[in-house]
Amino acid sequence: MLLRACRHIQTAKEASPEDLNMTTMATRDAYSYAAGNENRKAVSYRPIGPPSWCRIASDDPTIRQRPFQAGRNLPSLFILDRESRCNCGVTIETAQSLPITERDITIFTSLTAIERKVETMYCSACRNTRGAIGPDMGAYGVFNWNNRLAFSYELFDSLTSQFTTSETPLYAYHQTVRNTYISEESPILLCTLRTFVVAYFAYIRLQRIASRMQCLQCGPNPRIVIADGIAVSFPKHRIHSLRPPTLSDRSKALVRIPPHATRATCFIGPNKIRLTIAKALDEPLTDKNVDTFEKLLQETVITLPHSNYI
């Protein structure tokens, strides 16, 4: 009840209710949405090379990424070229000659969103999906998703790096980047998690990360995979005397506690004399009591001057 009344949760509900609802089923919905849109293509289609930190000798040397450098080399207008195409696959060479228009495009990076212009041409082959032919933009390190939203290579490569080094899930990375946008006062917030996940999987499908770890006879996709393992255990005769550390043994942990606590005293003599001395000290101070007390001390081989008691 106290958590529901927290003012931070109430503020979050008022600020972004749909994002708060997304938190509970974010991972499941995002992955299921990505699976349902597995064959959905982006405007970008050229092969994308692996980032520099994971390149190996067998990678294609002709496919290399251009450093994004925080978008300093981005043009103000992305123009169409001969290899431009629509996400349906229709290229500019096979399309009808239609007027070229300019539209706004948002490029999401790991720090902030960048707004630019892009040239597009109407695609008559997918009129029902409002498709448009646009440039690939891969030469600038940008992944063109749908001529309205684009993503920098370094944004997606950073997710791959964090996922392989610290097992960062998609939702956590998306939320971290979104918090960075808020801190940097980005003009546009990061796209929704569903769009981010679908665009990421479309990006890595174009990325050429090759590997030679495959069977020489079956190839990269064998029909049957046998995983062998080993179980290590101790012989029975070596563990018969082992006991858990929480097991108690009364024979080794028997402590006799006296029924009544004794008074602390510095007198180390017999108990009977100690009780007699305590009784003498409780009686009124008289010459007779002083003589009795000195006699007791003499019996315990303790000699004290008479002035200490008078």
pTM for the full predicted model: 0.59
- List pLDDT tens digits, range 217-270: 888 778 887 777 777 777 888 788 887 777 777 666 566 666 766 555 566 666
Q: How many CA atoms lie within 13 A of 6 on its CB side?
A: 7
For the chain, the farthest-separated pair of C-alpha atoms sits apart, in whole angstroms, at: 133
Q: How many CA atoms lie within 13 A of 27 on its CB side?
A: 6
Q: DSSP labels for 120-174?
A: EEE-GGGGGGT-EEB---GGGTEEESSSSEEEEHHHHHHHHHHHHHH---HHHHH
Phi, psi of 110 (to 5 degrees): -80, -10
Q: Which two tokens stand for residue 161?
A: 């790096």
Q: What is the DSSP letter of 41?
A: P
Q: In this structure, are residues 186 and 112 in contact, taking their beta carbons and an 8 Å threshold?
A: yes
Q: In this structure, are residues 198 and 34 in contact, taking their beta carbons and an 8 Å threshold?
A: yes
Rg (CA), the chain: 41
> Per this entry, what is the length of the chain?
310
- SS3 call for 48: strand
Q: Any residues with CB less than 8 A from the CB of 257 and at least 6 apart, and which?
A: none
The least confident of 56-60, 62-66, 127-131, 161-165 is: 127-131
- List pLDDT tens digits, range 61-88: 888 888 888 888 899 999 998 889 888 8
243/233 Cα distance (integer angstroms): 16
- List pLDDT tens digits, range 153-187: 999 999 999 988 888 889 999 999 999 999 999 99
